[in-house]
Amino acid sequence: MDADKAQITEVLIRYATGIDSKDWKLFRSCWTDEVDLDYGEVGHFTDPDAFTELFAQTHNPMGSTYHRLSNFAIEVNGDTATARTYVHAVLMITPDDNGLWVDVIGHYDDELVRGADGWRIRRRVTHTPRLLTGGGGA
């Protein structure tokens, strides 16, 4: 894997790690200062700080979450790139209760740009063809 693709993969992994570790500074470091983020039913976002705050408010009360990313298909063209990444996320809705959960499968279509701080996501369209819940509380 070339250096650009490795760095882009690291940004995507940082996104998942930021959510799962509830490290919102790490999560925010994935985004450019102006974004176009389409998260389907969750909403459409152009402010990465407000988006980060929403994710913090949503995920902080939860138990463990596991965002697994795979099948990184990355194309680099100078200082821009596209990436399609598969995601399988399992979220435990309540701490210490594995009976309430959400299981989502889909993929992200991203546009990234290289800036002074390295690669960042500028645009994302989220596709979630399957979302399951368990325990009646999700």
Q: pLDDT 10s digit of each residue in the chain, 138 long?
A: 799 999 999 999 999 999 999 999 999 999 999 999 999 999 999 999 999 999 999 999 999 999 999 999 999 999 999 999 999 999 999 998 888 999 999 999 999 999 999 999 999 999 999 999 998 644
The single residue listed with the structure tokens 């790139």 is 81
Confirm if 102 and 93 have CB atoms less than 8 A apart. Answer: yes
- Residue 31 belongs to what domain range? 3-134
**How many CB atoms are closer than 10 A to CB 115?**
12
- Helix and strand element counts for the chain (H, E): 3, 6
Nearest to 109 by CA among 122, 96, 98, 100: 122
Angstrom distance (rounded) from CA 67 to CA 35: 21
pTM of the full predicted structure?
0.94
Number of domains observed in the structure of the chain: 1
CATH of the domain at 67: 3.10.450.50
What's the Cα-to-Cα distance from 128 to each of 48, 71, 73, 125, rounded to whole Å? Answer: 21, 16, 18, 10
